[in-house]
Chains A and B, each alone.
Chain A
């Protein structure tokens, strides 16, 4: 699995509700973020959870603006949430 995305790329988290073990929190699904860094390649924990051999997945650190995630966010417009998300959950977005 190659890293198709690079730091700075805008992405959208797939808005999907698959059954079973997921490592992408619901509150980020369907939201737009930006790739901060490539964290490496890991065996897919969503498959390992079911005793399958985890396929290699590229893991990205993705940044989200707190005030874009939450309506009525109380804080600074600078505030961010960073999450680690596997490649099969990310789609390229328009800048």
Chain B
């Protein structure tokens, strides 16, 4: 809890009332919203009419939950070690991504933007929270928050510095607002001192944050 009261009158112990009753075993998580109710009604109807099963829904949730950044890591490590592939990944991203055996069926088109000595790219969706799930999986919670979505376009350097990423004034900070039908990933710069590393070894260095563009790829300390 981000409690910034200067004049807090008493510490948050468990010996005074604070809004819920511990004598009750089950506390509601939060009140159901209209959307919770709508989702439940629709799901129950679809199951009742035999259009889908509860098991199919669960399998789809599992499959979405289990996706991570592995595909993104593969793309970056290959691009770092294979200049011809890197050129294809930037020029014809969908073909280059499929070439790596990544299933892009029913997935939005993905574009790859390259960080260089002169340009630092960072990705946002100010309208909602569009994210390249096909290659990066589930977005982090902060990516969907208003704070990130509004601040990264108005004060990107301040936001980056809060991620520990300080960009020199000689470098262009380029914010991509993915407002339409495309999704973006950043091709981060290969860290110095990793020439000749294997793809597997390089892959392990690539973080989710570097693929969104809020951090560089760093060597382990």
Q: Which residues of A approach B to under 8 Å, CB–CB?
A: 23-25, 27, 39-40, 42, 45, 59, 66, 70, 73-76, 78-86
Q: Which of B14-22, B167-175, B188-196 contacts A (4 or more CB under 8 A)?
A: B167-175
Chain B residues near A66: list those with CB within 8 A.
Answer: 156, 173, 175
Task: Tell whether B177 is near chain A: CB-to-CB under 8 Å.
Answer: yes
Cα-based distance from A42 to B170 in the complex (angstroms): 36
Cα-based distance from A83 to B182 in the complex (angstroms): 10
Chain A residues near B157: list those with CB within 8 A.
Answer: 74-76, 79
Sorting the interface of chain B by its residue count into under 10, 10 to 19, 20 to 34 or 35 or more gives 20 to 34
Name 14 A/B residue pairs within 8 A (Cβ), A-sorted: A23-B127, A25-B127, A27-B153, A40-B109, A42-B181, A45-B181, A59-B181, A66-B173, A73-B155, A75-B156, A75-B157, A79-B175, A81-B175, A84-B179
Which residue of A has the minimal Cβ distance to B181?
A42
Task: Tell whether B198 is near chain A: CB-to-CB under 8 Å.
Answer: no
Residue in contact with B179 in the complex, picked from A70, A74, A78, A83, CB distance below 8 Å: A83
Task: Tell whether B107 is near chain A: CB-to-CB under 8 Å.
Answer: no
Known A23-B127, A25-B127; judge A76-B173 contact (CB<8 A). Answer: yes
Chain A residues near B180: list those with CB within 8 A.
Answer: 23, 39, 42, 45, 59, 84-86
Chain B residues near A40: list those with CB within 8 A.
Answer: 109
Which residue of A has the minimal Cβ distance to B150?
A27
Residue in contact with B172 in the complex, picked from A25, A45, A78, CB distance below 8 Å: A78
Cα-based distance from A81 to B177 in the complex (angstroms): 7
Cα-based distance from A82 to B119 in the complex (angstroms): 13
Residues A76 and B156 in contact, CB atoms below 8 Å apart: no
Chain A residues near B153: list those with CB within 8 A.
Answer: 27, 81
Residues A82 and B172 in contact, CB atoms below 8 Å apart: no
Known A66-B156, A74-B155; judge A79-B173 contact (CB<8 A). Answer: yes
Chain A residues near B154: list those with CB within 8 A.
Answer: 70, 73
Residue in contact with A74 in the complex, picked from B158, B171, B177, B181, CB distance below 8 Å: B158
CB neighbors of A among B104-128 (8 A): 109, 111, 126-127
Residues A80 and B181 in contact, CB atoms below 8 Å apart: no
Which residue of B has the minimal Cβ distance to A80?
B174
Residues A25 and B179 in contact, CB atoms below 8 Å apart: yes
Most buried by A among B158, B178, B179: B179
Most buried by B among A40, A75, A85: A75
Which residue of B has the minimal Cβ distance to A21?
B127
Known: A24-B179, A79-B156, A83-B176. 12 other contacts (CB 8 A): A25-B177, A27-B153, A39-B182, A59-B181, A73-B155, A76-B157, A76-B172, A79-B174, A80-B173, A84-B178, A84-B179, A86-B180
Cα-based distance from A78 to B68 in the complex (angstroms): 33
Chain B residues near A76: list those with CB within 8 A.
Answer: 157, 169-173
